[in-house]
Amino acid sequence: MDKYVIEGGRRLYGTVPIASAKNAVLPLFAASILTEEKVIIKEVPAISDALCMAQILRELGADVRFCGSDVVVDSQNATSHVISSVLTKELRSSVFMLGSLLTRFHRARIAYPGGCDIGLRPIDLHLSALKRLGVVIRERGGYIHCSCGTLRGTDILLDFPSVGATENILLAAVKAEGVTTVSGAAKEPEIIDLQNFLNAMGARVSGAGTDVITIEGVKTLHGVEYLPMKDRIEAGTFLIACAACGGEVEVCGVKGENISSLLHKLRENGCKIHTKNDKIVLESTGRLRCNRRIETMPFPGFPTDLQAQITALNCGCEGGALIVENLFETRFKYVPELQKMGADIQVKGKTAFIRGVGRLHGATVVAGDLRGGAALVLAALAAEGVSDVLDLSHVDRGYADLQDKLKNLGAEIRRVRI
């Protein structure tokens, strides 16, 4: 197991190149088996979730090669429709494989997906949508067994704009007979990226980024070489780090409109922010005021994947803040670790009440999930003294070269094997 040793109190200055988005890349891995031709996904970040998704494809019989940062997928010899429980329990995004497997093999068997322990995250919306397309589903022994004949286009209404369900419908309907219309679809930028990827393969998908998506089924898809979008959550994490520590940081590759809700809140904290094309510059004195209220919401609302980081920021500000988590019921599990650093937080249900203490102090803390782990790193960077952040396996799921990027900004951070 590795840990970060972080000496806090250093201001951050410089430019951060942002990696391809984890939440965009993983569905592209799933989509790559929709064709028997080669697919090249460029500039894939070196994160453990991407490695896990590659292993899932290998278990299906696909040839997956890493050529530098590019990933080449050749699924011509893929024959298996079964994903082992070992891998699905490690990776929530394995659920995307349902739509792809049903399109390719007309059957799928997958264990209930895992990932971070941040709540139940039921997949009822996925399964009910697949049933609408003609899939027969049986659940037994912890596995989901799916089978279908010819998938047929239909009208699907999502009761909640689930990103995963929306993406799974696209993967299942892209070669279905007829037209599928998804109403109440998620609007996240990663949905647009998946649409662009599928269309580059010869699909006919339109409407991504709105709440109505139309998929006209096609008979075949071909190979593609594709560069995914940059990671707006990674960009947001570095902007929050600079806000907490003080300094001036530029993030490259992400449009301000994709994280406009975060930028609004950081301005409310007292930061100066300038955006131009795909560059965002943040200036911070490091002495900020708390946000009055933040509620996580589906896009374009405040992203749940930045909730932990903005909570850590508010702990070191002046005043009081109220954070409401509307998407995942146990996403405040990191709070006791922040309290070790002197944070004044009270959690009741889905709401965290924060009284800013001005500055946290160093402590030994344990990362329990991906975004909670990132929050602890940010808190340690801004805190007084030295902190140890343990169990980096969670952080490694979504951030590549985190310590090197922070070092280049002037942070005092070391990765140590323990």
End-to-end CA distance of the chain, in Å?
6
Checking if the pLDDT of 153 tops 80, the result is: yes
**Residues 142, 101, 27: CA angle, nearest 5 degrees:** 95
Domains in the chain and their CATH numbers? 2-19+230-417 (3.65.10.10), 22-226 (3.65.10.10)
- Model pLDDT for residues 360-410, shown as the tens digit of each residue: 999 999 999 999 999 999 999 999 999 999 999 999 999 999 999 999 999
- pLDDT tops 90 at residue 72: yes
pLDDT band at 92 (very low <50, low <70, confident <90, very high): low
Segment 227-239 mean pLDDT: 98
Tell me how crowded residue 13 is: count the other CB atoms within 10 A of its CB: 15
Q: What is the DSSP letter of 20?
A: B
DSSP 206: E
Structure tokens at 294: 């933040």
What pLDDT score does 94 carry?
77
Q: Which tens digit of pLDDT belongs to each residue from 325-372? A: 999 877 899 999 999 999 999 999 999 999 999 999 999 999 999 999
Q: Which pLDDT score, from 0 to 100, does residue 116 have? A: 40
As a whole number, mean pLDDT of residues 70-82 equals: 96
Counting residues of the chain whose pLDDT is more than 70, the rounded percentage is 97
Which pair of tokens denotes residue 304? 């749940």
pLDDT, residue 144, reads 86
Residue 301 has pLDDT above 50, yes or no: yes
How does the average pLDDT of the chain come out, rounded? 94
Residue 96's pLDDT is what?
A: 77
For the cut 90, the answer to whether the pLDDT of residue 17 exceeds it is yes
Both tokens assigned to 46: 């070196």
pLDDT band at 93 (very low <50, low <70, confident <90, very high): low
The whole-number pLDDT of residue 122 equals 66
Average pLDDT over residues 79-103: 83
Reported confidence tier of residue 322, pLDDT bands at 50, 70, 90: very high
Residue 310 has pLDDT above 80, yes or no: yes
Per-residue pLDDT at 289 exceeds 50: yes
Task: Grade residue 113 by pLDDT with cuts at 50, 70 and 90.
Answer: low
Cα–Cα dist 120/394, whole Å: 18
- Spell out a b/e string for 234-253, using b for 16 or more CB atoms within 10 Å of the CB, else e: bbbbbbbbbbbbbbbbbbeb
386: left (phi over 0), alpha (psi -120 to 50) or beta: beta
| Cβ proximity of 399 and 389 under 8 Å | no
Tell me: the pLDDT tens digits for 97-110?
899 999 999 999 98
Measured CA to CA, the distance from residue 363 to residue 31 in angstroms comes to: 43
pLDDT score, position 386: 98
- Tens-digit pLDDT profile for residues 265-282: 999 999 999 999 999 999
pLDDT at 115: 40
Q: Is residue 194's pLDDT more than 60?
A: yes
The residues carrying an active-site annotation are 116
Whether the predicted pLDDT of 262 surpasses 80:
yes
Cite the DSSP H helix spans in 174-251. Answer: 189-200, 232-245
Residue 118's pLDDT band, with cuts at 50, 70 and 90, is: very low
- The amino acid sitting at 222 is H
Strands of the sheet with 136-140, listed across from one edge: 82-83, 107-111, 143-147, 136-140
- Enumerate residues 6+ apart whose C-beta is below 8 A from 61: 75, 77, 78, 79, 80
pLDDT of 126-135, one tens digit each?
A: 999 999 999 9
Measured from the Cβ of residue 1, the count of other Cβ atoms closer than 10 Å reads 8
Phi, psi of 390 (to 5 degrees): -95, 160
Could you tell me the CA-to-CA distances from 47 to 111, 340, 373 in Å, in that order?
A: 22, 28, 14
Predicted confidence band at 411 (pLDDT cuts at 50, 70, 90)?
very high
Residue 346 class from Cβ within 10 Å (0-12 exposed, 13-18 middle, 19+ buried)?
Answer: exposed
Q: How far apart are CA 316 and CA 318, in angstroms?
A: 7
- The 3-state DSSP class for residue 334 equals coil
pLDDT computed for residue 143 by the predictor = 82
Question: How high is the pLDDT of residue 329?
Answer: 76
Instruction: Kindly report whether the global pTM for this prediction surpasses the value 0.75.
Output: yes
Residue 197 reports pLDDT greater than 70: yes
Question: Above pLDDT 90, what percent of the chain?
Answer: 89
pLDDT at 117 over 60: no
* CB-CB contact of 166 with 140 (8 Å): no
